[in-house]
Amino acid sequence: MGPNHSATILAEIRRAIQKLGGNSQPMTPADAARTVREFGADVDLRGIADSWSGHTLDDDMILEMVRNWNAGKGVFARYTHGATSTSRRSIAP
C-alpha cells in the first residue's frame, strides 16, 4: 500500500461533487460516500466512494479512479485496456 492520500482523495471527491452541482465538503470516507449519493452521482463515482469508505481498494487506486472520473476518462480504463471477451477468463468450469 502506498502513501496515505486521504486529503488528496477528499479534494478530488469535493471537485467531483462540484461537477454534480454541489458544494458539500465531506471530511471522511463515509461522508464522501453518502454525499456523492445525495448529489446523484453515477454508479462509477458511487463505487469509488464506497470502495474507499469500505476499504476495499487501496488509496492509490482510489485516487487514480476519482481523478479519471473528474477528467471524464473511463474510471477503470487502466485495468480494462486491451481486454477483449476472448482474453478474459471465464469463471465457469
- With respect to residue 53, please indicate whether it lies within any of the assigned structural domains: yes
Tens digit of each residue's pLDDT, the chain (93 residues):
456 899 999 999 999 999 999 999 999 999 999 999 999 999 999 999 999 998 899 999 999 999 999 999 877 666 655 544 443 333 444
- With respect to residue 57, please indicate whether it lies within any of the assigned structural domains: yes
- With respect to residue 67, please indicate whether it lies within any of the assigned structural domains: yes
Question: Domain tally for the chain?
Answer: 1
- With respect to residue 92, please indicate whether it lies within any of the assigned structural domains: no
Closest by CA to 66, choosing from 2, 19, 27, is 19
User: Which residue range(s) make up the domain with 16?
Assistant: 6-74
- With respect to residue 85, please indicate whether it lies within any of the assigned structural domains: no
- With respect to residue 35, please indicate whether it lies within any of the assigned structural domains: yes
- With respect to residue 62, please indicate whether it lies within any of the assigned structural domains: yes
- With respect to residue 42, please indicate whether it lies within any of the assigned structural domains: yes
